[in-house]
Amino acid sequence: MMADDPIPTNDADPAGTTTAFDVAAAVRAGTVTAASLVERDLAAIAAREPELHAFNLVLADRARAEAAAVDALVAAGNDPGPLAGVTVALKDNMCTHGVLTTCSSKILEGWKPPYDATVVTRLRAAGAVVIGKTNLDEFAMGSSTENSAFGPTRNPHDPSRVPGGSSGGSAAAVAAGFSRVSLGSDTGGSIRQPAALCGVVGVKPTYGYVSRYGLVAFASSLDQIGPFTTTVADAALLLDVIGGHDPMDSTSIPQAQPSLLRAIEQDVEGLRVGRITDLPAGADDDVVERLELAFDALRDAGAKIVDVRVPAFSFGLTAYYLIAPAEASSNLARYDGVRYGLRIESPDTNAMYSATREAGFGEEVKRRIMLGTYALSAGYYDAYYGKALKVRRLIADDFDRAYQDADVLLTPASPSVAFPFGSKGDNPLAMYLCDVYTIPTNLAGHPGMSVPFGTGADGLPVGAQILAPALGEPQMFRAAAALERAMTKELAR
């Protein structure tokens, strides 16, 4: 972890300010200061960050300055915004003006973007306080946050296990209480899978729901920014702030979206929840058991459980690992040592390109660049990439048919609870299978979210994944809120 100044250790812990809603309400009412809340979170970081390594960079000085600005607005009788004083951690692939942005890769060494990502601008306009940049699998390529150039992030529930990936640092930061909320990016499950393993709420919105301007690209047709939070309401609040059209992103959805905070006020009476009967096997027994209890909970809340089929679901993994690497091979070609980041001096330009990329990229990134370049090469384009695009269309069509009979679908978010470090690192296919239940949604461009729903093996968190059609966030959040209420009742017994 890098820090721009020393992190304090104090006992500031204002009562009743656990969630983003609590924080914003207390700060806006003037009953607690944003400054005291920042000091509380910085103290939490000081206590466990050396063990967990959720951050690549802690912005203590900047966070204090932003908190002071929020408090000054309150003192002057002004409203700082719906996220007043809420600390947020940003995945380190989101541009922050004048602040190191690394994508957890050596190749971006020393790079400070000249602008903020749109989501960062919107967070600050809403009164949020950016507390740091979080660790990730290099360029968001991985499912365990073991592929970072700066070392792995550990799961707050059991530091001998992974937090998931690629947004493992963002998930761990919220689970450990380092920040009230965080942002991650999801290309094939990189928000939902770590959310499940860390026991927090994680949301991948509809493609285009949240601006990608300022998100360092992995696979441009798949990437989406979304929140990690401790509650469904906080996730709705955060998406209401960062969502919406952005003219700086040509893929941004132009029409306004309804408030998700209003959606979670509705119950699930009559909501049709689909059970995918041809879902790929492979989930552990403890995960399957919790999923069945989630179906029961929604049924008890008034939802109707219906059987649906998504035949092409099982092809998602294969199609993804042709499409995503192909896009990555193109996007990552810009890192050549000429314009920014690492540069290895060499006798000539071609040698410099080769030496820089060899030293700057990690093994997983190199593996995917080579796979993607091969899939796009002459003679193989139609056989591999072209066929993968056809499978992508089949997946989207199968989902569309399923959503004629169901309003949302329910699946596991991850096939297992958090696994030990090193248990899958030598077997790329085993690691790729961690995203078998999340990838198809990215290929279709639809929303999905993971909601904590109890524990499985070794008392570790299990996440239930709720899927919905494009722009189906309102019904998805209704189902998520119902699961959260059921879980609250279960814990109270």
Residues known to be catalytic: 91, 166, 190
Phi and psi at residue 58, in whole multiples of 5°? -100, 125
Residues 476/273, Cβ–Cβ less than 8 Å: no
Polymer length in residues for the chain: 493
Cα separation of 368 and 376, whole Å? 12
Tokens of 213: 């301007």
Cα separation of 207 and 471, whole Å? 9
Strand partners, 91: 134
Radius of gyration of the chain, Cα coordinates, nearest whole angstrom? 21
The number of angstroms, rounded, from the C-alpha of 468 to the middle of its chain's C-alpha atoms is 17
AA identity, residue 395: I
Residues near 77 by beta carbon (within 8 Å), at least 6 away in sequence: none
Cα separation of 434 and 440, whole Å? 13
Cα separation of 464 and 467, whole Å? 10
Residues near 116 by beta carbon (within 8 Å), at least 6 away in sequence: 95, 96, 97, 124, 214
Residues 167/228, Cβ–Cβ less than 8 Å: yes
Count the helix, strand and coil residues of the chain and give each as a percent rounded to the nearest 5.
Answer: 45, 15, 40
Closest CA to 48 of 152, 144, 178, 229: 178
CA angle in degrees (0–180, nearest 5) for 255-258-263: 155
Residues near 292 by beta carbon (within 8 Å), at least 6 away in sequence: none
| Strands (DSSP E) found in 328-445 | 408-412
